[in-house]
Homo-oligomer: A and B are copies of this chain.
Amino acid sequence: MPFPDRTGSASSEPSSGRTGISATLAVNETIERKRREGVAVLPLGFGEAGLPLHPALTRELAKAAGRNSYGPVAGSPELRAAAAGYWTRRGLPTDPELVVAGPGSKALLFGLLLALGGEVALPCPSWVSYAAQAALTGAGALPVPTPPDEGGVPDPDLLAEEVARARRAGRRVRSVVVTLPDNPTGRLAGEPTVRRLCRAARELDLLIISDEIYRDLVHDPAVAVSSPALFAPERTVITTALSKHLAAGGWRLGVARLPDSPLGHRLRAELLGIGSEIWSCAPAPVQHAAAYAFSEPPELTEHVDRSRRLHAAVARAVAARFAAAGCRVPQPQASFYLYPDFSPLAGPLADRGVRTGPELAELLLEGHGVGTLPGSAFGEPDTALRLRVATSLLYGESEEQRLQALHAPDPAGLPWIARSLDRLSEVLEEVTAPQPALTGPQPAVV
């Protein structure tokens, strides 16, 4: 039987399988398979927080296990009030009526893009799923490079140029996504850049979607995140979730903060319409636990502080290994990601037949059991010899090891983490050391 073809009408463009499963989730599944096969692996591909839940969060979910009603599409009043409080404490006063919960901020981002229609400008590089989601809505993405050494925000001048060019070509660009702090680079765009981005978005009449899921994992607690909601409040949607700072990725709970403007109110209605037809509501028992989490009791705040210190220590230690191997590595500022650039090692890599980022990631994964993602998964060209390295799955394979890492004054010195770091250095040396004479028929010595 022929599979329905996709040619013909533009309405079938919303595809999917052409790119297959999300790259981050796919590398996770490959690493798990290799581990089951007994291969020694270094899991640096998947952006999971790598820590157990705080027991108080587990307790709250268990308490709410009997909640079986759908409740409002937007989420329970208690959850929306708690999320509003969370943002208000961060200098962003929030009306609970403008909070919308969903099964993960990923679902909310998809709903927002679907509600807006039109193309979305994205920083390049940026998280794998933004462009894939844009393709699923049938619209598409407009990649715009980030300023040098600042991840997560398209260069505002380039944004204006690219949007103008696209519009002259008849394309409709409606929104821009920023990631503060950033995945994949682990960098945090500074206030001047965010202000310029807001000015450009206003001039271009773009909605700003600010993905702030890593907000509470900035390594230096004295550094503030400058949300575009501060400078362009009428057009900024913020999304966040429990997945990263509270390590509850598998729970599926995200929240969006819609702007208090006519645009925001219309967008909220559209998002609720979409949510009601695709996901109904966020899981009800999880909503209860999330309300507790967003109320930020001291036990959780202290836990997030500890997690942040652990992420910082290990991310820096891994960055140092890449730097020692000859990579150029922007210093990670937040979360558990870094984005080493192998171009200084292009020569020895080319000697091994590695000329692209995907070839480099493939060599590391298949040849050495090191799972990473190439920059191309984040929208960069294949020729970019950059990798997104997630450091949080190094904390341990057992819950006991992870908890030890969480409480260690020098986590990178723990034997299992130190061994992973050493293994990483070995592999990096193997793949980047100058190549000895090639094998094959050699001319006779004369």
Contacts and interface: CB of A to CB of B under 8 A. Distances in A.
Interface string A10-40: 1111111111111001101100000000000
Contact of A250 (B70, B262, B273): B70
A3 B264 CA distance: 9
Interface stretch (A128-136, A178-186, A328-336): A128-136
Given A53-B68, A249-B69, A16 B262 contact: no
Interface residues of A, number: 93
Interface string A236-271: 000000000001111110000000011100110111
A22 B52 contact: no
A73 B261 CA distance: 37
A350 interface: no
B72 A29 contact: yes
Contact of A270 (B17, B251, B282): B17
Given A1-B205, A4-B117, A104 B280 contact: yes
A190 interface: no
Given A21-B73, A133-B278, A266-B3, A103 B138 contact: no
B117 A71 contact: no
A165 interface: no
A16 B262 CA distance: 17
A106 B279 contact: yes
- Protomer copies: 2
Contacts of A2: 205
Given A14-B14, A71-B250, A278 B281 contact: no
A325 interface: no
B250 A281 contact: yes
Contacts of A6: 117
B48 A70 contact: yes
A209 interface: no
A72 B234 CA distance: 38
Given A4-B116, A22-B276, A278-B278, 16 more contacts: A1-B235, A9-B172, A11-B11, A12-B172, A13-B138, A14-B137, A16-B270, A17-B269, A18-B273, A22-B280, A25-B73, A68-B247, A106-B277, A106-B278, A136-B278, A249-B280
